[in-house]
Amino acid sequence: MTTLVSKPVRRKVRIAGMPHGIRPDLVIALYPGGIIGLREVGRRREYQVAAGVLYARLVGQEARRAR
């Protein structure tokens, strides 16, 4: 696995089943410090979330679902 030290890593992905009005092609960026950025291809607005926050939210969601 590669450790992010200075430069972000960006990849384009096609997401099947995106809601109407959202392009299926996304750019996912991984920044040093554990930040994940998401944006539609061709758009400038990027939404960012800390990987730890995302992980905690998903674990909590799975725990609520299991109840």
Query: Mean pLDDT in each 10-residue stretch from start to end of the chain (67 residues)?
Result: 85 91 92 95 96 96 95
Helix ranges, 1-67 (H)? 51-66
Radius of gyration of the chain from its Cα atoms, rounded to whole angstroms? 14
Q: What are phi and psi for residue 45, nearest 5 degrees?
A: -70, 120
At 22 the pLDDT is 86
At 17 the pLDDT is 87
Q: Is 55 helix (H, G, I), strand (E, B) or coil?
A: helix
- The pair of structure tokens assigned to 45 is 């607005």
At 2 the pLDDT is 72
| CA distances from residue 5 to 8, 38, 42 in whole angstroms, order as listed | 8, 20, 27
- Specify the pTM: 0.84
